[in-house]
């Protein structure tokens, strides 16, 4: 019985990481479609919200770009972080601990 708990927790954490990675892929696809439609990526100020609402009246916007018009949460029920660095999009989850950095299950997930 003592081995079931730790094994189940490892499986749960692995599922959360896998879910988070899949959601990042879906968000990236939505950003690609947004970019094709509008000719640009969402600004940092617009953030991921630009994928579900056209609050800034972006010309060419044809969303929402995510299912049900809602932003997914990471595997720990926290919002993803969005950054643009040198024209490159970064979508990040802070992992299990919700803090920047970390190792193992606490490591940041993103690209």
pLDDT per residue as tens digits for the range 72-85? 999 999 999 999 99
pLDDT bin (cut points 50, 70, 90) of residue 95 is very high
pTM here is 0.85
Query: Torsions phi, psi of 31, nearest 5?
Result: -65, -40
The pLDDT value recorded for residue 8 is 63
Domains contained in the chain, CATH given: 4-110 (3.30.700.10)
Q: What is the mean pLDDT of the chain?
A: 90
- The radius of gyration of the chain from alpha carbons, rounded to an integer in Å, stands at 16
User: CA–CA separation, 41 vs 105, rounded Å?
Assistant: 30
């Amino acid at each position: 019985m003592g081995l079931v708990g730790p094994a189940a927790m490892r499986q749960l954490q692995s599922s959360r990481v896998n879910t988070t990675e899949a959601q990042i892929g879906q968000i990236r696809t939505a950003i690609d479609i947004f970019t094709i439609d509008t000719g640009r990526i969402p600004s940092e100020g617009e953030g991921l919200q630009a994928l579900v609402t056209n609050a800034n009246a972006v010309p060419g916007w044809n969303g929402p770009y995510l299912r049900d018009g809602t932003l997914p949460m990471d595997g720990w029920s926290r919002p993803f972080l969005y950054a643009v660095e040198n024209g490159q999009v970064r979508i990040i989850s802070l992992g299990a601990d919700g803090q920047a950095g970390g190792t193992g299950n606490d490591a940041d997930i993103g690209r």
